[in-house]
């Protein structure tokens, strides 16, 4: 790895590491240099059940780690919405999950990492040994060094099941009122219907869950076979791949609006303690491979932002702006306290991730207004999913940017590590 970085430096070029390619934007693209494919470096090096620690190489995926840990009655404390993300990608993005309000982002659970830097070689970092560089790497978009290995603190896995509470709301005001209350469950997420007209916009199906203990879990049988094979399901591919020839015209506001209405009506008004297999609860979209093809050749933009607590008027204004564009999928959550990393995305407040067809009219203008609104109230956009944020907005959203850049320059003074994202936002070295 050091030789590759040195070669890039001698040639006056740049390099960036790439995992599974799950980023929605240009974080692992490098038009002017090399891309280092880390996906084959995926060994799980050690599991210490007594101390609840797992050490793995950069390319091990969330699904592979969960499958290995399950044999020891353990699981990962934080997982994103797909099991295909690699360990290093998860660290570089400081991923968050449905339990951020309780367990924080991944940064809270990383105990050590091996980082290959152009200036200082291979470093073993911990929060105690080098907190500045360690936390700059958590959420640092791969620009402080190439993550080679990492150690995570695991958590107990009572069973491969969760007990789910479901509530259905009739509009945005009811959704915000219900989610604003004290959250007692470990996991919480809301699916929003952003295409419903009038006061029904923002109606939701809110899902909250806690792990089920082994004695409460359903007994094996035909209906529970999939969940009983939990470790195996995490390593399988999707049930179906969307074909390249899929007619994008089928996915249009009218058809999505009809689907949303059907999904909303099919969900219970109020349900408590329903057992659900853990894997499909966390990763519902993983059953469909190459789902981005649904949006056609123009693709989609996923715009995820967070608005701080106490800024609910700005939050409601953001929903009003969202009415201008067709939001086909919207996921809404509450965040807990912020991570220590200067480029880490989560902060205490509300976050919405919205999938929007890139070719839809008014997308650029609407998102530009949202950028201004989000930055003005102290919020920020998730860089891992970004493909269009302007450079001048970054400083307002990430006021600790200077701290990050100081550590990046220490680890990589020549700007060898760079990406299209880094150049677009002015994050990296000499080519910024």
pLDDT at 51: 98
Query: For residue 123, what are its two tokens?
Result: 């470093």
- Spell out the residues 6+ positions from residue 101 whose beta carbon is closer than 8 angstroms to its own: 183, 188, 333, 334, 335, 336
Asked if residue 114 and residue 199 are part of one domain, the reply reads: no
191 part of a folded domain: yes
Give me the pLDDT at residue 95, please. Answer: 97
Q: Cα–Cα distance between 252 and 243 in angstroms, integer? A: 18
Give the pLDDT score at 225.
Answer: 44
189 with 52, same domain? no
Say if residue 388 is in the same domain as residue 418. no
CATH of the domain at 43: 3.30.465.10
Contact 349, 308 (CB under 8 A): yes
Residue recorded with tokens 């999505």? 256
177 and 119 fall within a common domain: no
**Same domain as 292, residue 363:** yes
How far apart are the C-alpha atoms of 291 and 328, rounded to whole Å? 13
Q: What are phi and psi of 260, to 5 degrees?
A: -60, -45
CA terminus-to-terminus distance, the chain? 24
Return the structure tokens found at 239: 């049930």
Q: Residue with structure tokens 């996915």? A: 251
Task: Check whether residue 378 and residue 270 sit in a common domain.
Answer: yes
**Domain check: are 264 and 325 in the same one?**
yes
Structural domain harbouring 365: 161-392
Do residues 333 and 307 touch, judged by C-beta distance below 8 A? Answer: no
Domain presence at residue 431: no
pLDDT at 432 (0 to 100): 46
User: Do residues 129 and 259 both lie within one domain?
Assistant: no
Measured CA to CA in angstroms, residue 134 lies from 9, 139, 347, 414 at distances of 23, 10, 19, 20
Question: Mean pLDDT in runs of 10 for the chain (432 residues)?
Answer: 68 87 93 92 98 98 95 96 96 97 96 96 97 98 97 96 97 94 95 96 97 86 50 73 83 94 96 92 90 89 97 96 96 96 97 96 96 98 96 95 96 94 83 45
Q: Which residues contact 252 (CB under 8 A, 6 or more apart)?
A: none
pLDDT of residue 222: 44
On whether both 370 and 355 belong to a single domain, the answer is: yes
CATH number of the domain where residue 183 is located: 3.30.70.2520
Report the predicted TM-score, pTM, of the whole model to 2 decimal places.
0.93
Predicted local confidence at residue 221, as pLDDT: 57
Q: Is residue 432 part of a domain?
A: no
């Amino acid at each position: 790895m050091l030789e590759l970085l040195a070669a890039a430096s001698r040639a006056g070029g740049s390099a960036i590491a790439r995992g599974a390619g799950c980023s929605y934007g240009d974080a692992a693209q490098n038009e002017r240099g090399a891309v280092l494919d880390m996906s084959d470096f995926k060994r799980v090096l050690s599991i210490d059940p007594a101390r609840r620690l797992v050490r793995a190489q950069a390319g091990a995926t969330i699904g592979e780690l969960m499958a290995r840990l399950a044999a020891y009655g353990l699981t990962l404390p934080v997982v994103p919405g797909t099991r295909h993300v690699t360990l290093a990608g998860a660290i570089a993005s400081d991923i968050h999950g449905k339990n951020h309000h309780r367990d924080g982002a991944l940064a809270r659970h990383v105990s050590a990492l091996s980082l290959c830097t152009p200036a200082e070689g291979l470093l073993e970092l911990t929060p105690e040994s080098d907190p500045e560089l360690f936390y700059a790497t958590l959420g640092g978009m791969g620009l402080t060094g190439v993550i080679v290995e990492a150690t995570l603190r695991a958590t107990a896995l009572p069973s491969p099941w969760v007990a789910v509470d479901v509530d259905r709301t009739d509009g945005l005001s009811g959704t915000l009122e219900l989610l604003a209350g004290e959250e007692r469950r470990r996991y919480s997420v809301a699916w929003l219907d952003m295409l419903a007209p009038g006061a029904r916009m923002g109606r939701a199906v809110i899902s909250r869950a806690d792990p089920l203990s082994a004695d409460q879990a359903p007994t094996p049988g035909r209906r529970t076979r999939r969940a009983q094979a939990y470790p195996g399901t995490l390593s399988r591919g999707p049930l179906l791949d969307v074909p390249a020839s899929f007619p994008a015209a089928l996915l249009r506001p009218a058809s999505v609006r009809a689907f949303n209405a059907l999904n909303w009506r099919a969900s219970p008004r109020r349900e408590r303690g329903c057992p659900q297999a853990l894997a499909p609860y966390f990763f519902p979209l993983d059953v469909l491979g190459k789902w981005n093809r649904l949006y056609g050749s123009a693709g989609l933009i996923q715009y995820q932002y967070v608005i701080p607590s106490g800024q609910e008027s700005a939050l409601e204004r953001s929903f009003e702006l969202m009415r201008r564009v067709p939001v086909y999928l919207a996921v809404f959550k509450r965040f807990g306290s912020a991570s220590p990393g200067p480029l880490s995305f989560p902060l205490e407040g509300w976050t919405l991730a919205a999938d929007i067809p890139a070719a839809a009219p008014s997308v650029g203008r609407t998102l530009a207004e949202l950028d201004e609104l989000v930055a003005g109230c102290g919020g920020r956009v998730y860089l891992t999913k970004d493909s269009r944020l302007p450079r001048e907005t970054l400083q307002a959203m990430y006021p600790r940017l200077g701290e990050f850049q100081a550590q990046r320059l220490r680890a990589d003074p020549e700007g060898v590590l760079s990406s299209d994202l880094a150049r677009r936002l002015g994050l990296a070295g000499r080519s910024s």
